[in-house]
Amino acid sequence: MSVLDDIKQRKPFASKGEEALVTMLRTTDVFRRRMGGVVERHGITMQQYNVLRILRGAGADGLPTLEIAARMLEQTPGITRLVDRLEVKKLVSRRRSADDRRCVYCRITAAGLALLAALDAPMRAAADRAFGSVNKKELAHLVELLDRLRNALQEK
């Protein structure tokens, strides 16, 4: 099914660029809902999942809040609220830097690590299902194209 059919649009797009943009936005929404369904069963959102993954990758030292924000897949102005919610759930902990009291370091807790461990296989399976209709070569090409598009947009 084309994106025109999917969104029930009757007239063609003004350009291939517009069609590509709408197709990418619609596809992103479908991915977000599909992957979100996996993590939401565990009581967290995709953005919270992203924070936990970032902190797991950071290791025992953790990261300052602003560094987490810089690494997020989706930029969000509410990183403090995201971390607040994770802290209430006992999935992350925070402490102020001894050197700079304005800097707050966040670390993933054992409970956060356990939650991610429980989500690793279901998220991998969901990603495999999502990309099941394309082969490895096509996936590599898709990643290359998306990297090129994102980099071009960030340069402007």
pLDDT 10s digits, 42-83: 999 999 999 999 999 999 889 999 899 999 988 887 899 999
pLDDT tens per residue, range 123-140 = 999 999 999 999 999 999
Architecture of the domain spanning 47-125: Orthogonal Bundle (1.10)
User: Quick check: 116 and 91 in contact, CB under 8 A?
Assistant: no
Q: How far is CA 76 from CA 3, 55, 130, 134, in A?
A: 28, 16, 25, 31
Range with lowest mean pLDDT among 17-21, 77-81, 120-124, 152-156: 152-156
- Determine if residue 90 is left, alpha or beta; phi over 0 gives left, psi from -120 to 50 gives alpha, anything else beta: left
* Residue 156: per-residue pLDDT: 60
Domain boundaries, the chain: 1-41, 47-125
Question: Please, how many CA atoms are within 13 Å of residue 8, restricted to the half-sphere of its CB?
Answer: 0
